[in-house]
Structure 1
Amino acid sequence: MRFLLAPDKFRSSLSAAEACAAMEAGIRLALPDAQITALPMADGGEGTAELLTLATQGSWHTTPVHNPLFKLTEAGFGLSPDGQTAFIDSAAAAGLALLATPERNTTIATTHGLGQLIQQAITSGARTIVLGLGGTATTDGGTGLAAALGWQFLDAAGQSFIPTGGTLTKIAQLVPPAAPLPVRFRVACDVQNPLYGPTGAAVMFAPQKGATPAQVGQLDVGLKHLDHVVQQQLGLSHVAMPGAGAAGGLGYGLITFLGATLEPGVDVVLDAVAFDQHVANIDLILTGEGKLDQQTAQGKLIAGICRRAERAGVPVVALCGTLTLTPQEIRELGLLAAFSVLNRPQQLKEAVLTAAGDLMGATFNVVRLLTNHASLRL
């Protein structure tokens, strides 16, 4: 029997790769001769670049770049085996996690280092950039990234500068690079917010990045000014495009300055790992995550796996820590079945420590049931 293992991480307990290992161990106990393909997955958020690099058997590279406060740091990106595709997380160079809590100030934070990271990937030969949005410390509308990739932002005196969230209102003129970048962008984005306004980047996300109410207002005005200049000088208006407000307006900047397209994170990830090719000739897909709930059903990773598996005619079983979906919701999601791996009352701390063993045991039971009796075999 041929299995494809495609779990997401079990947050705070197992990485996606560790979940694959536990599942494989359970399968081997039930069916020693099984053919198993392990494909650790991610949903487009932080950590996606490393997993995509691993799944494609690519190589990992690091380079010095600016962190959100213009200080030097090391950031990494993955390259596919043919060197044509780079995998990058926006949080690698612009991430909130790169800053200590007292350092967090989104009015002065920049995406410049992310632009440097992209430039290094292009210099290394990449012609497609797969970029995961999320987890940034910035609200600069992607201007820092654009500045690192050849765009100039001039103030009223004609002086070039690198904008931050707090200085967006100083932009008086835009100067495009001499030539467009020789690269295509695929941006994994699950945020639908516009650039500014009541549901925009500043109001919805800047408080999480340390912004005070006054700074939120300042940032929102700055993003609105940025779009005004773009409309005047470039004749473009992407302000209301779903995802424009993602990652502090980075979505807007990628669309406006780099011609990127924003796509559902799960589709970008599944395409990048050639999921449709892996699922060919598979008998059963085992997937999972820490919590299987309404968010899962509303288009997250497992929902995407189920859609593609249905097209290929392959059943999917999900294993998780917490299961809150009803039987009807499980069926509507496209799963053959879903099970919690928890097998006894326990505190969260214990559940985290025993997650690998519990996942292995649940996998054993599923595979044993589906393969050991002829009337039940898939």
Structure 2
Amino acid sequence: MKILIAPDSFKGSLEAVTFCEVATQAIQSVYPQADVISQPMADGGEGMVDTLSSLDGAERISAIVQDPVGKAITANYAYLQESQTAIIEMAAASGLPLLKPKQRKAMKTSTYGTGQLIQDALSRGAKHFILGLGGSATTDAGIGCLSALGFQFLNANKEHVSLDGEGLLALESIVPPSSLDLDSISVQVACDISNPLYGETGAAYMFGPQKGASSEEVALLDQGLRNFARVVKKDLQLEVAELAGAGAAGGMGAGLMLIGGKLNSGFKIVSELLQLEQQFQTHQFDLVITGEGQFNEQSQYGKVPVEVAKLAKKYNVFVVGIVGGIDFPIADIHKLGIDAIFSITDRPLALEDCFKEARPLLFNLIQNIVRLTFRNIQE
């Protein structure tokens, strides 16, 4: 029997690599002869660098940068010297998990640290960038990141605005850097949402509250994002507001357009680099196991489990999804190509306890799934 394990990470509890290790152990504890192929996945959020660090020639680079509130931290990215490609996830420098709940203030957080990672890669000779936008703590339209690359963001008095969501309200002009040759670099933006920059489905209203914004602050952030789009159009002749994904990571999707960023499906970028479809062409799998921390409304829009299921269905392979929680109709999940879905929890548990017990919970569930799936197979 052949099984492919291709999950995303479970935020706060299981890295995709760890999921694969535990699942493999569980499968082989039931069927020692099982042929298990592990392929940790990502869709542009946390875990993308870990996943793509498995590529031949990938080197892990550490740099001291600013976190979303300006504190010095060490963040990592991956670098492929041969192709001069840097793989950066903004969550490493500007992610929500870096902050305690009381620090989550969307008006005041900045993407400056992500720009420092890009600058570090440029100093090493990077010409190509893959930037993952998931898990941000910010709603600054990327002006912090761009400032670290030499852009100037000025108010009506030609003074620098604050590099955060609040600064967007005062923004009146943008001065591009003379030292950055945009024609010499390419930027792929790995994005797993399609929200516009502003409005009811934009960055502020959809994601501001989880970043600590009150209802009043959400309205101000939305106003700031509208102002950013206005100034970008005025000074740089770019339309950034309505582009699908412009609202990703608090408007970072729109901001990266100022350095030529091209927004693409995060899963598509990662799966092509890892040659995931070639695995299906090479192997005749009996089962695919995929998963993520929470299956919800957003999961149907480019998230790992659904995209893996679509690929598996192309090759007529049965798909099991394993998640931390399910907040979506089961019947609709089946329509998306996932044949069966399970939560790893086996009893009522507080979220903190779920995180602590994630490994044994996953191990036990995988054992049961494999016993049931292959109960009639004789080896």
Change (3 A) 1:29 1:104: closer
Displacement after TM superposition at 1:112 (Å): 1.8
2:264 aligned partner: 263
1:121 aligned partner: 121
Map Cα deviations across residues 3-47 of structure 1 (whole Å, 9 max, x no partner).
321122345543322221222113323432333321122333223
1:289 aligned partner: 292
Map Cα deviations across residues 58-110 of structure 1 (whole Å, 9 max, x no partner).
32211122223344322211224745332222122222333444444433332
Map Cα deviations across residues 106-151 of structure 1 (whole Å, 9 max, x no partner).
3333222211111212333433322221333322221221222232
Map Cα deviations across residues 216-257 of structure 1 (whole Å, 9 max, x no partner).
4443333222222221222221212222222221111012x1
Change (3 A) 1:219 1:180: same
Distance (Å, rounded) in 1 between the aligned partners of 2:100 and 2:183: 34
TM-score under structure 1 length normalisation:
0.83
Q: Give runs of aligned pairs for residues 115-194 of structure 1, distance below 5 A.
A: 115-158=115-158, 163-178=163-178, 179-180=181-182, 182-194=184-196
Distance (Å, rounded) in 1 between the aligned partners of 2:146 and 2:293: 36
1:34 aligned partner: 34
Give 1 or 2 for the bigger CA radius of gyration. 1
Distance (Å, rounded) in 2 between the aligned partners of 1:226 and 1:345: 48
Map Cα deviations across residues 190-225 of structure 1 (whole Å, 9 max, x no partner).
333322334433344334333445544443333222
Gaps of at least 5 residues in structure 2 are: none
Counterpart selection for 1:248 from 241, 247, 250: 250
Gaps of at least 5 residues in structure 1 are: none
1:22 aligned partner: 22
Is the contact made by 1:53 and 1:80 (CA closer than 8 Å) also made in structure 2?
Answer: no
Change (3 A) 1:212 1:330: closer
2:221 aligned partner: 219
1:308 aligned partner: 311
1:360 aligned partner: 363
1:333 aligned partner: 336
> Any idea what SS the aligned residue of 2:121 has?
helix
RMSD of equivalent CA atoms = 3.3
Is the contact made by 2:291 and 2:323 (CA closer than 8 Å) also made in structure 1?
Answer: yes
Letter in structure 2 aligned against 1:22: V
Distance (Å, rounded) in 2 between the aligned partners of 1:32 and 1:3: 12
Displacement after TM superposition at 1:303 (Å): 0.9
Distance (Å, rounded) in 1 between the aligned partners of 2:28 and 2:188: 37
Distance (Å, rounded) in 2 between the aligned partners of 1:338 and 1:104: 33
1:239 aligned partner: 241
Is the contact made by 1:56 and 1:81 (CA closer than 8 Å) also made in structure 2?
Answer: no
- Report which stretch shifted further, 31-40 or 110-119: 31-40
> Any idea what SS the aligned residue of 1:191 has?
coil
Is the contact made by 2:195 and 2:201 (CA closer than 8 Å) also made in structure 1?
Answer: yes
1:110 aligned partner: 110
1:280 aligned partner: 281
> Any idea what SS the aligned residue of 2:182 has?
coil
In the alignment, is residue 59 of structure 1 matched against residue 59 of structure 2? yes
Is the contact made by 1:64 and 1:74 (CA closer than 8 Å) also made in structure 2?
Answer: yes
In the alignment, is residue 45 of structure 1 matched against residue 48 of structure 2? no
Change (3 A) 1:213 1:352: closer
2:211 aligned partner: 209
Distance (Å, rounded) in 2 between the aligned partners of 1:99 and 1:292: 24
Is the contact made by 1:286 and 1:316 (CA closer than 8 Å) also made in structure 2?
Answer: yes
- Report which stretch shifted further, 319-328 or 26-35: 319-328
Is the contact made by 1:147 and 1:162 (CA closer than 8 Å) also made in structure 2?
Answer: no
Distance (Å, rounded) in 2 between the aligned partners of 1:280 and 1:334: 19
Change (3 A) 1:329 1:166: closer
Letter in structure 1 aligned against 2:277: D
Displacement after TM superposition at 1:156 (Å): 3.9
Displacement after TM superposition at 1:51 (Å): 2.8
- Report which stretch shifted further, 355-364 or 44-53: 355-364
Distance (Å, rounded) in 2 between the aligned partners of 1:11 and 1:101: 16
Letter in structure 2 aligned against 1:59: E
Distance (Å, rounded) in 2 between the aligned partners of 1:187 and 1:230: 19
1:197 aligned partner: 199
Letter in structure 2 aligned against 1:316: V
Q: Figure out how many residues of one structure are paired with residues of the other and give that number.
A: 374
Distance (Å, rounded) in 2 between the aligned partners of 1:136 and 1:319: 24
Is the contact made by 1:40 and 1:55 (CA closer than 8 Å) also made in structure 2?
Answer: no
Is the contact made by 2:107 and 2:213 (CA closer than 8 Å) also made in structure 1?
Answer: yes
Is the contact made by 2:9 and 2:46 (CA closer than 8 Å) also made in structure 1?
Answer: no
> Any idea what SS the aligned residue of 2:282 has?
coil
TM-score under structure 2 length normalisation:
0.83
Is the contact made by 1:133 and 1:246 (CA closer than 8 Å) also made in structure 2?
Answer: yes
